[in-house]
A and B are shown apart, each in its own frame.
Chain A
Amino acid sequence: MQVAGLGTGTLMLSQLPVFGRPVSEEALLAPGLDVAIKKRLADAALNAAKSKGASYADVRIGRYLNQFVITREDKVQSIANTESYGVGIRVIADGCWGFAAVGDAKTEAELAKAAEKAVAMAKANALLLSDDPVQLAPQKGFGEINWKTPIQKNAFEIPIKEKVDLLMAVNGAATKNGASFVNSQLFLVNEQKYFASTDGSYIDQDIHRLWPSFTVTVIDPKSGKFETRDALSAPMGMGYEYLQVNPADKIMGITTRYNKGYDMLEDVVAAAKQAKQKLTAKSVEAGKYDLVLDPSHTWLTIHESVGHPLELDRVLGYEANFAGTSFATLDKWKTRKFNYGSDRVNFFADKTQIGSLGAVGYDDEGVQTKRWDLVKDGMLVNYQAIRDQVHILGEKESQGCCYADSWGSVQFQRMANVSLAAGKEPLSVDELIKDVKRGIYIIGDSSYSIDQQRYNFQFSGQLAYEIKDGQIVGMLKDVAYQSNTQEFWNSCVKVCDERDYRLGGSFFDGKGQPIQINSVSHGSATARFNGVNVINTARKI
């Protein structure tokens, strides 16, 4: 699921989770601990854990940096730089997991003490309540290695003033083009993570992400009605180069959409005009339509109806008390004949995709990342799993899906980038729309909801256009579609080719108790779904 209230364009700092303590802009560029010191600290923890009886231990020394620039109209509402540093130590002792975390720890003694606490916790749990020892898939050690997000421009190095100037220009352009209100923001993430384990790995990683976004609101004072339009940007595993305008990254059409370069100024002008247009757009007639879904919309439908149900911890019941279980049960997978979608539908998981939010070299339990199939030619073929789960699938090595959102959180199975493969035959968006007799073209993500086993869902978009006899004839409003996961993906009749493949994603995929967030991308090309149920969401109060 996506954590509510955080994916919207109107987020305020007070609504954000606590990411760390505020620091200066310059502090964000200061180097963290030297790698030799981190190795020494990690060894102290690993040795302490082993000496207390741990059969396995891993240490994550994490420095998490964030920067938020939040504005509305002509005002900077908040500039926040945050840093969070600490160490999380996970062990297996007497067949049980134990975990302890300690903030600001920079001495071997502090780490050793936390490691001992983790072992004691594991042993206490083993005595009290467990009769099923952890089975950890073997993992070779990689020695001392490192990995870095392949960014071109470190966004943290761009002066705040330049970022404020950009957002002020964006807000000015919105107001000039008819926006009553505009909220805009930049959100930067840098995870500096050092992982060491008793398997013999010492992995130093430097991970970057960035998300520019806005919400434009247009009010009609006469009717008292209002409409909004959010940015068509995506959060990306990129540096500041994502904000460089590049014509090759623009997908032209009824509205411009973006690939690996985002023109925020251009998009906000379109948003202001489109929000105004929405006020007088035709309210949709409920019924069955053929849907044409843009990747800026489809990512969230993939996230909820494919990414989550194919997480093995949900399938097994570990999330039953909150996020839920899954309809995609092991017995369905074992038949090798469960048609998740039509034969046009191929989903793959990929933790290596450049520019994606989930791209890392190694996961948070020292497994090298990779790409693998989840649904092939419509059939369910695999799940997303981690080291203590893969034996259930008869696999010998983990798929590398382990992640913790902080040094203080215990790592567990999280979603990889899960994407719909582009169509194999050449097909452009115009060619796809040309054959649609009665349809709706949806761009951008908006409202979203799905049941706890991932059958029934409802989604809406930022923009909806009516298609009649192969032509876009006008804008629609009050559009939401409802379907069932298997029925929906089996109604997929066409997927555009690789030229239209783009990523969408979220910084706020939420799961677990206590809840943790995860950043994940989902790629697709524009796709067509036949005969989907559309409802009209307008109500009078």
Chain B
Amino acid sequence: MSIILTEADAKALLQKVLKFSKADECEVNLQGEEWSNIRYALNKVTTCGSKTYKTLSVQSAFGKKVGVATIDEFDDASLEKAVRRSEEVAQLAPENPEYIGLLAPQQYLPASGFFSSTANMSAVDRAKAVAQSIQIAKAQKQTVAGYLEDRVGYSAMMNSKGLFAYYPSTKVNFSATIRTDNGTGSGYATQGVSDFPKLNTASATQMALQKALGSVGARAIEPGKYTVILEPLAAAVLLEHLFRSLDARSADEGRSFLSKPGGKTKLGEQIMDERVTIYSDPTNPELPASPWSADGRAQEKLNWIEKGVVKNLSYSRYWAQKKGVKAVPAPTNFMMVGGTASLDELIKSTQRGILVTKFWYIRSVDPQSLLVTGLTRDGTFYIENGKIKHPVKNFRFNESPVIMLNNLETLGKVERVVSSEGSFSNYLVPAMKIREFTFTSLSDAV
């Protein structure tokens, strides 16, 4: 059996599994993925690998007693065994007071994140893409390290109330770091695409090269409050901390930056500049995402922050029922509305400021203010009278994305970026100019 099932094959398999069920309620989740990668450093390939997996998970419920079993074998006997096993586990489990039963069938938006160009990528395609990147570094007598990974996969689910969902997708992430041979300059670039032909490892590597060469000879300037221009990647890794915190339950419980005295929350309140709109949309062709969440709830185009106002928070079905509100699921993608200014225009309009191309090692400091700390990396530049004057040494910052989006000066153009902080999530985020961004110390790191 192929790892990647068609919608019809997935449906037939799930129907077969459900027929074995004797529980009050049964839900079956099915996933398959082919994932390959190639990694290089010091201008040569260091490791490569591939992994394929398929897995089927059965959840059975008797009242509020719930059990789960998972298998990766798909003959009839194994399928039935998984169903029986989940039922046995359920019978032995304590009642789960937060289990509120299965979802009825849902209507899903059409979302298309599957591209056969990516699904059909070969080892030679990968090697060629990487060879282009290495060639650029070698020709310039610089050193490159990078990573390319591609995934093709699908998820499907069906339950005994008749819900069925299916979503196939593909994704390619590429990143490269060029370090100058004297070790005094470093530049980075990344690209995330769903459709492989859109990936251009050469142009990304050229961008990294430009930043590496431009960052040689960085000068130390005093830390403090500066106007900053954040390239989309730098903005995205700060916004990630905001995106992940838009949860209703923690706000209601009083342990979120969205909590207020007396058990109230900031839902419906303006908390940042009115030009800030953050939304999700599984149908966006630039960043397609699953039209359903892992528990089967339908995703829709939704504003989370609208003109600076907290418009929506995500709820588990249990918490929504308890609060008597609509059970809005956490989104499957995030994007922010941008402006029209190009990066050049943002720089030209800046008297004195810092251009940040990337942040690194961002960690929470205080969840009450959403304060995070981290450092600039791989190309930071001083701007004076509308021009980049010279590279500067890296800074440590302590700043909150909420404060930052209150101090918004100008929004630039939106780009698709890949988080450089380990999650490798893709976002659509604009460049932005921010006033009074807080740098607290200097780093000698290149």
Write the residues of chain A forming the contact surface with B, with a CB cutoff of 8 angstroms: 1, 3-4, 21-22, 24, 75-76, 96-97, 99-101, 103-104, 121, 124-125, 128-132, 180-181, 217, 219, 221-226, 228, 316-322, 324-325, 327, 408, 410, 412, 447-456, 458, 460, 478, 480, 482, 484, 510, 513-515, 533, 535, 537-541
Contacts and interface: CB of A to CB of B under 8 A. Distances in A.
A225 B55 CA distance: 44
Interface stretch (B67-75, B162-170, B214-222, B306-314): B67-75
Interface stretch (B249-257, B321-329, B381-389): B249-257
B396 A458 contact: yes
A212 B360 CA distance: 30
A317 B143 CA distance: 9
Contacts of A455: 443-445
Given A22-B70, A180-B254, A541-B257, A453 B444 contact: yes
Contacts of B445: 324, 327, 451-456
22 contacts: A4-B363, A21-B55, A24-B89, A103-B53, A129-B134, A221-B262, A225-B368, A226-B368, A318-B145, A320-B145, A320-B186, A451-B396, A452-B361, A456-B394, A458-B373, A458-B441, A482-B396, A484-B443, A513-B149, A537-B365, A537-B398, A539-B366
Interface on chain B toward A: helix, strand, loop, or mixed SS? Answer: strand
B19 interface: no
Q: Which 7 A-B pairs have the closest CB atoms?
A: A456-B443, A224-B261, A453-B445, A451-B445, A320-B145, A321-B145, A513-B147
B341 interface: no
A428 B402 CA distance: 45
A539 B403 contact: yes
Contact of B177 (A100, A320, A458): A320
A320 B444 contact: no
Contacts of B257: 541
Given A180-B253, A452-B377, 10 more contacts: A124-B127, A322-B422, A449-B363, A449-B373, A449-B375, A452-B360, A456-B444, A458-B373, A478-B366, A513-B39
Interface of B: 37, 39-42, 44-51, 53, 55, 57, 68-72, 85, 89, 94, 96-98, 123, 127, 130-131, 134, 143, 145-147, 149, 175-177, 179, 186, 188, 253-255, 257, 259-263, 271, 360-366, 368-371, 373-375, 377, 394, 396, 398, 400, 402-403, 406, 421-422, 440-446
B444 A128 contact: no
A317 B179 contact: yes
A22 B69 contact: yes
A267 to B, nearest CB: 21
A129 B398 contact: no
B68 A101 contact: no
A202 to B, nearest CB: 25
A197 B98 CA distance: 50
Nearest to B255: A226
A92 to B, nearest CB: 13
B370 A451 contact: no
B446 to A, nearest CB: 7
A219 B37 CA distance: 46
A539 B369 contact: yes
A488 to B, nearest CB: 12
Contacts of A447: 363-365, 373
A539 B46 contact: no
A221 B94 CA distance: 32
Contacts of B177: 320-321
A399 to B, nearest CB: 20
A346 to B, nearest CB: 25
Given A22-B70, A321-B177, A447-B364, A129 B444 contact: no
A181 B253 contact: yes
Contact of B396 (A3, A226, A456, A539): A456
Contact of B47 (A97, A128, A217, A225): A97
A533 B366 contact: no
A456 B395 CA distance: 9
A412 B143 contact: no
Contacts of A21: 55, 70-72
B135 to A, nearest CB: 10
A454 to B, nearest CB: 8
Contacts of B362: 449
A219 B254 contact: yes
A8 B96 CA distance: 24
A1 B97 contact: no
Contact of A450 (B89, B176, B361, B442): B361
Identify the interface centre among A76, A103, A451, A513: most chain B CB within 10 Å of its CB: A513
A480 B364 CA distance: 12
A217 B367 CA distance: 12
A536 to B, nearest CB: 10
A494 to B, nearest CB: 25
Contact of A541 (B175, B253, B271): B271
